[in-house]
Structure 1
Amino acid sequence: MSSPDIYDPTYVRDVFDRCADQYIAFSNVCSLGFTQIWRSQCAEMLDLLPEHQQGYDFMAGTGEVWPHLLAKWPQVTSIHAVDISSGMHQKAMKRLHAMRAHKIEFREDDVLQSGLPDESAEFVISTFGLKTFKPEQHERLAKLTERVLRPGGRFAYIEASDPTDWWLRPLYRFHLDTILPQVERFLLKGAQDFAMIGEYSANFGNAREFARMLGDTGLNTEYREFFFGCASGVCGSKPC
């Protein structure tokens, strides 16, 4: 039997639909809280202007960036969440976001196939979705980002990365590749879906190449790394 294509949209959707019940707790505990820190830093990278009030959260997942986004930038009145997994969104709205539901509009869709209107957003944000794409999909995402942003609009992406130059990288990889699957196996009794995090992250590397792709579309871009390269991101703007 041939191995599945782990970047196929249907495969990705099924993984995250199965993970939905335990995703928030698992990601927070097993990242030692760093995922929340990095989400906050991603929201800060947007550097919104007062007139930047509505935009997209691509690969929105459980919407855990929304509290950081709305606290940092209170002028935001509307977040259009796009995600291929409706299971993730439904759990998020029920557990976390009932009080801000009036600001959230959900679109269940493969973001790369979505017909989002041109220049329809003042910002684009995305946290921890890049690793589920391969390079040719990253290129399409970069073009989509440029297309949907209005002139002067801002964007910020962040993703768990492989810190190849960090002297503690072997310990970090051991945590992702060995510890996390065992936690899932013995404590969550899952289908080993969370173990995919390590494989996706290793394949992804970091956001440097995605930053180049965004720059190639004409966007102003800045590449950043966090905590010795365990996360990387890119932010910037569309020229006016």
Structure 2
Amino acid sequence: MHGSMTDPVDDPATAAATAPFGYREVPAAEKASLVRRVFDNVAARYDLMNDLMSLGVHRLWKDAMVDALAPRAGMSIVDVAGGTGDIAFRIHARTRGEARIAVCDINPTMLAVGQDRAIDRGILRGLALVAGDAEALPFADRTFDAYTIAFGLRNVTHIERALAEVRRVLKPGGRFLCLEFSKVTLPLLGRIYDTYSATMLPTLGGIVAGDRQSYRYLHESIRRHPPQEKLAAMMAEAGLARVTWRDMSGGIVALHGGWRI
């Protein structure tokens, strides 16, 4: 594979001024708006596309994440980049509506889809939808017992800033869980998966969502995301303790966890 797709930028000044958007380097100040445009384009078909792209397995990954969280009544939880509500609805069901859940997403279009889905499910309490940036969350220090993010961390401009915000908004003893595409650990599976994601994601995006280009970006963003060990190190550098991860589906995704001590 061509090194420029995965190698970090060597020049610190350039690294500070640019950010990866798929395989391209773009001005860091522009990445958030480019990502927002992608999700504006795909919001209406986002959940359907998740089912098609993963053959429904994303539901099992998300169930495993909520199993690991083990949410309880009375907890205060923020789900970041969770606009359409998949994680929040699972937490709401597990706690029978007795947890306080904030869904925070930078994209109002995704939040609108989540609001419609919540109304369809009759969820009228225990859930707040909040527009906000993962790098500068609109919450006070030490607000939440838990912070979850599923398939969203790779889309932020500066992962280290988002992780600093994780620690800031968690209460002491608070839990962080991140479910994200990662580095496949089985060589044969890795080759099959690379071919599938490079060809089928854009193809399905074009057929189902009418947007081949956005799904090409989503494939590329997966390839640019830090592998398991690197993300764990970044979490530790941000001040999170007892950092662990668990591979799922041979490392196609990984569930990272940590605590604010």
TM-score by length of 1: 0.88
Tell me what 1:85 maps to.
Answer: 107
1:96 Cα deviation from its structure 2 partner:
4.5
Q: Secondary structure at the match of 2:222?
A: helix
Query: Cα RMSD (Å) of the superposition?
Result: 2.2
The answer for the alignment partner of 2:216 in structure 1 is: 195
122, 141, 144: which one pairs with 1:121? 144
| Matching residue of 1:53 | 75
| Aligned equivalent of 1:31 | 54
* Greater mean deviation of Cα atoms: 185-194 or 80-89: 185-194
Residue correspondence of structure 1 range 1-240 to structure 2 within 5 A = 5=26, 8-48=31-71, 50=72, 53-74=75-96, 76-98=98-120, 99-133=122-156, 137-190=158-211, 192-216=213-237, 217-239=239-261
In the alignment, the residues of structure 2 paired with residue 215 and residue 87 of structure 1 have an alpha-carbon distance, to the nearest angstrom, of 33
Query: How many residues were matched structurally?
Result: 234
Residues 208-227 of structure 1 show CA distances to partners (whole Å, capped at 9, x for unaligned) of 32222222304222111111
Any idea what SS the aligned residue of 1:235 has?
strand
Structure 1 residue 154 displacement after superposition? 1.4
SS at match of 1:88: helix
Unaligned runs of 5+ in 1: none
- The answer on whether the counterparts of 1:58 and 1:125 sit within 8 Å (CA) in structure 2 is yes
- How far 1:166 sits from its partner (Å)? 3.2
Q: Encode CA deviations 1:151-191: one digit per residue, 9 max, x unaligned.
A: 12112110122315432211111111111211222343225
Q: 2:49 aligns to what SS in structure 1?
A: helix
Q: Which structure is higher in helix share?
A: 2
CA distance in 1, matches of 2:231, 2:124: 31
Higher mean C-alpha deviation, range 12-21 or range 230-239: 230-239
Question: Which stretch shifts more, 184-193 or 120-129?
Answer: 184-193
Give deviations 1:130-168, integer Å, cap 9, x for gaps. Answer: 12135xx22112211111111121121101223154322
**Cα distance, 1:196–1:85 mapped onto 2, change above 3 Å:** same
Distance in structure 1 (CA, Å) of the matches to 2:118 and 2:196: 28
- TM-score w.r.t. the length of structure 2 is 0.81
